[in-house]
């Protein structure tokens, strides 16, 4: 049987930060193996949001009274935290959105409608989450641009030898790719794609929703033009995400949402727009959620992204070795060296929904479905998979419970 090497972070101590992990499901301790979908929240984040509502809350950027200034400082402080987290040259280029999905829609609409047309091509990958697929497909179709994809091999890794053909046959204007695949955990060579995109005269859009919680993100080192991330996947509140964009591009883009706060002046004949980042933040933003987002970044940064990544890697090595013991389980995706803490698999003869249902009886939470990657599922030749995903609070005992649970699944249905 596989043996786990000691992990680099003190998970037992960290787990005490997460009240939700004390929940019982069917009288059993919860084994939460669905962090790729959304993460649980530590007390530090919950307390920060509560303290903000209790002592600092007002609308932002409007009032001159003390409390409004304090709320604005909390909100803008969170923006500085996000900027540092992704190594943005300036916090003015960080825009708060509702989610990674909204961040990508902002780019697809505001940049795409202005810059794409017949003869242009948008390139995505076969691995993309629908959030980085459907907006591009839609805007390409609206503008008359073509929509192409970088194919994957059977292991779920990008076939980079397809790039030359794509470049020969198309005038590429956008390359949009995820840093980490939410379905297979594949880590994509985004720096290389960004360099290739720029050789084509295209912009590079990176979906970092699944990477930012687990590994250090540096927009300057990646060489990308836009990067989307989400709070709820890194221990923060839902309803808030961020977009980092290259200053020159953001300046040239028309606004995405229109209304209060994003204007400089409004007249009956003409409206002018506010400076960055406010041009892209119409209306009252998710203020406390932004503050919670900042607190979540502080929390994971204190643990250290390299340590989190190492912990998840060790757990993934262990999980893959344990699943390999089960001849009737097929694991999808690349070798463990090139995957993040995500393991998608199929139990021979049992539908993933039934697998997840039976595991739930034992308090084991996994995701079953297409994971918002229907084109990828088609490529893999399945309608759905079962997915276990890990985070800083995940432990080997939970992997063991998963494997025991799968034996039960096989015995009852396989």
Ligand X SMILES: Cc1ncc(COP(=O)(O)O)c(C=O)c1O
**Site membership for ligand X, residue 388 (CB under 6 A):** no
C-beta of 336 vs 340, nearer to ligand X: 340
From residue 293 to residue 312, the character string flagging contacts with ligand X as x (rule: CB under 6 A) and all else as - is --------------------
How far is it, in rounded angstroms, from Cα 147 to Cα 78? 36
Number of helices and strands (H, E) in the chain?
A: 15, 17
Pairing of strands 120-125, 146-150: parallel
From residue 48 to residue 77, the character string flagging contacts with ligand X as x (rule: CB under 6 A) and all else as - is ------------------------------
Choice from 237, 239, 241, 352 touching ligand X (CB under 6 A): 241
What's the closest the beta carbon of residue 127 comes to ligand X, in angstroms? 9
Active-site residue, 235 included: no
What's the closest the beta carbon of residue 361 comes to ligand X, in angstroms? 25
Token pair belonging to 347:
């139990």
C-beta of 72 vs 373, nearer to ligand X: 373
Stretch of 54-62, 124-132, 334-342, 405-413 lying at the interface with ligand X (CB under 6 A) = 124-132
DSSP structural state of residue 107? I
Choice from 35, 39, 230, 394 touching ligand X (CB under 6 A): 230
**Site membership for ligand X, residue 126 (CB under 6 A):** no
What's the closest the beta carbon of residue 242 comes to ligand X, in angstroms? 10
Q: Are 206 and 236 in contact (CB under 8 A)?
A: no
Non-local CB neighbours of 84 within 8 Å, separated by 6+ positions: none
Q: Which of 82, 240, 372, 384 is catalytic?
A: 372
Q: Looking at the DSSP assignment, which residues form a beta bridge with residue 229?
A: 242
Residues 83-112 that bind ligand X (CB under 6 A): 99-101
- Count the alpha carbons within 13 Å of 337 in the hemisphere toward its beta carbon: 0
How far is it, in rounded angstroms, from Cα 112 to Cα 130? 17
C-beta of 138 vs 328, nearer to ligand X: 138
Distance of CA 313 to the CA centre of its chain: 18
What's the closest the beta carbon of residue 340 comes to ligand X, in angstroms? 11
C-beta of 234 vs 329, nearer to ligand X: 234
What's the closest the beta carbon of residue 26 comes to ligand X, in angstroms? 26
C-beta of 86 vs 409, nearer to ligand X: 86
How far is it, in rounded angstroms, from Cα 172 to Cα 338? 27
How far is it, in rounded angstroms, from Cα 364 to Cα 80? 37
Choice from 39, 125, 182, 386 touching ligand X (CB under 6 A): 182
- On the 0-12 / 13-18 / 19+ scale of CB atoms within 10 A, 58 is middle
Choice from 129, 311, 339, 367 touching ligand X (CB under 6 A): 129
Q: Select from 336, 200, 194 the least CA-distant residue to 208.
A: 194
Only one residue has tokens 């980092």, namely 244
Pairing of strands 226-230, 203-207: parallel
Choice from 40, 105, 210, 394 touching ligand X (CB under 6 A): 210
DSSP structural state of residue 165? H
- The enclosing H or E element of 31 equals strand 31-32
What's the closest the beta carbon of residue 405 comes to ligand X, in angstroms? 23
**Site membership for ligand X, residue 207 (CB under 6 A):** yes
C-beta of 146 vs 188, nearer to ligand X: 188
Name the residues that contact ligand X, by CB under 6 A: 99-101, 129, 131-132, 178, 182, 207, 209-210, 230, 241
**So which residues are the catalytic ones?**
372
């Amino acid at each position: 049987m596989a043996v786990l090497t000691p992990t680099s972070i003190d998970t037992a101590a960290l787990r005490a930060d997460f009240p939700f992990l004390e929940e019982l499901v069917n009288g059993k301790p919860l084994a939460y193996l669905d962090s790729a979908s959304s993460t649980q929240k530590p007390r530090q984040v919950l307390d920060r949001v509560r303290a903000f509502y209790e002592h600092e809350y007002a609308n932002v950027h409007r009032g001159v009274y003390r409390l409004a200034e304090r709320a604005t400082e909390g909100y803008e402080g969170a923006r500085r935290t996000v900027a540092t987290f992704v190594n943005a040259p300036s916090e003015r280029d960080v825009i708060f959105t509702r989610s990674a999905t909204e961040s990508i829609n902002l780019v697809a609409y505001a940049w795409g409608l202005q810059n794409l047309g017949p003869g242009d091509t948008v390139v995505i990958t076969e691995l993309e989450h629908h959030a980085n697929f459907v907006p591009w497909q839609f805007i390409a179709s609206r503008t008359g641009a073509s929509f192409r994809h970088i194919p994957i091999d059977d292991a779920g890794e990008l076939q980079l030898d397809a790039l030359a053909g794509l470049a020969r046959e198309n005038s590429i204007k956008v390359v949009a790719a995820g840093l980490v695949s939410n379905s297979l955990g594949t880590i994509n060579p985004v720096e290389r794609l960004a360099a290739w995109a720029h050789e084509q005269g295209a912009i590079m859009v990176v979906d970092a929703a699944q990477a930012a919680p687990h590994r250090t993100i540096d927009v300057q080192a990646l060489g990308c033009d836009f990067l989307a991330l989400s709070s709820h996947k890194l221990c923060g509140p839902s309803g808030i995400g961020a977009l980092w964009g290259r200053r020159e591009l953001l300046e040239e883009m028309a606004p995405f949402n229109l209304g209060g706060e994003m204007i400089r002046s409004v007249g009956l004949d003409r409206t002018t727009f506010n400076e960055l980042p406010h041009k892209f933040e119409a209306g009252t933003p998710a203020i406390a959620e932004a503050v919670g987002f900042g607190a979540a970044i502080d929390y994971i940064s204190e643990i250290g992204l390299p340590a989190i990544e190492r912990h998840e890697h060790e757990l993934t090595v262990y999980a893959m070795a344990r699943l390999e013991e089960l001849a009737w389980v097929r694991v999808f995706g690349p070798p463990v060296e090139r995957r993040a803490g995500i393991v998608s698999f199929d139990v021979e003869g049992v539908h993933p929904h039934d697998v997840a249902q039976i595991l739930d009886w034992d308090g084991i939470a996994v995701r079953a479905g297409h994971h918002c990657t229907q084109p990828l599922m088609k490529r893999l030749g399945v309608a759905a998979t079962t997915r276990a995903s890990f985070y800083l609070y995940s432990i080997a005992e939970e992997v063991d419970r998963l494997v025991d649970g799968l034996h039960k699944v096989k015995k009852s249905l396989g």
